[in-house]
């Protein structure tokens, strides 16, 4: 059963007022409180490693990996999921979610191919490359952002919006991946 969605918030989501009421404060929050630590050496190094490891993958290879990830969800053996979900970089993201006091619901870091590099919570798929969180950021350049509509998220059990942005390599100032930050809509 879905929790009750505050009627005032529902009214704003259904109107153009969403952009003015929620998008700007959410972007500001990510700019001021999140963006700096997304360039932490641990995250940058993990994305660089993933980019090297995944550079030669074909579209069929990526589809096969995504299918493996989906098949491993909820299984005792998860050789595709475990290296991502149980990495030091994922632990770093989990610490950031915990430190945000309920404002951040989840964080996802993707490589240049749209594959998960690190996650604070398990995702339903490995490849994000066909979703707006990736297509509207990484390929659009270093200043690209995407803010989703507010929606009920089954994994977090909250109404949230996802703010996504391109990750930049601080050494080269070039895009290396993307990050998505799930934000609790009721915090804004």
Instruction: Report pLDDT digits (tens) over 39-92.
Output: 999 999 999 999 999 999 999 999 999 999 999 999 999 999 999 999 999 999
Torsion of CA 148, 120, 83, 43, to 10 degrees: 80
Better-predicted residue by pLDDT, 6 or 73: 73
Pull the structure tokens for residue 8.
Answer: 């005032």
Residue count of the chain, please give it. 188
**CATH number for the domain whose boundaries are 7-187:** 3.30.450.20
1: three-class secondary structure by DSSP: coil
The predicted model gives 17-41 an average pLDDT of: 88
User: pTM of the prediction?
Assistant: 0.88
The predicted model gives 10-22 an average pLDDT of: 55
Burial of 58 (0-12, 13-18, 19+ CB in 10 A): exposed
Instruction: Indicate if the pLDDT at residue 142 is higher than 80.
Output: yes
């Amino acid at each position: 059963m879905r929790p009750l969605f505050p009627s005032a918030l529902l009214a704003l989501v259904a109107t153009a007022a969403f952009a003015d009421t929620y998008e700007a404060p959410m972007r500001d929050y990510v700019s001021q409180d999140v963006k700096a630590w997304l360039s932490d050496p641990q995250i940058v190094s993990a994305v660089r490693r993933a980019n090297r490891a995944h550079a030669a993958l074909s579209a069929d290879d990526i589809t096969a990996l995504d299918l493996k990830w989906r098949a491993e969800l909820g299984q005792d053996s998860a050789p595709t999921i475990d290296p991502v979900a149980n990495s030091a970089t994922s632990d770093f993201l989990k610490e950031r979610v915990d430190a945000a006091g309920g404002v951040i619901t989840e964080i996802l870091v993707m490589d240049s191919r749209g594959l998960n590099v690190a996650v604070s919570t398990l995702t339903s798929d490995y490849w994000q490359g066909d979703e707006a969180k990736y297509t509207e950021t990484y390929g659009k350049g270093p200043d690209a952002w995407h803010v989703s509509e507010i929606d009920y998220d089954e994994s977090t059990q909250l109404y949230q919006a996802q703010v996504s942005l391109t990750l930049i390599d601080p050494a080269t100032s070039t895009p290396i991946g993307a990050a998505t930050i799930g934000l609790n809509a009721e915090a804004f």
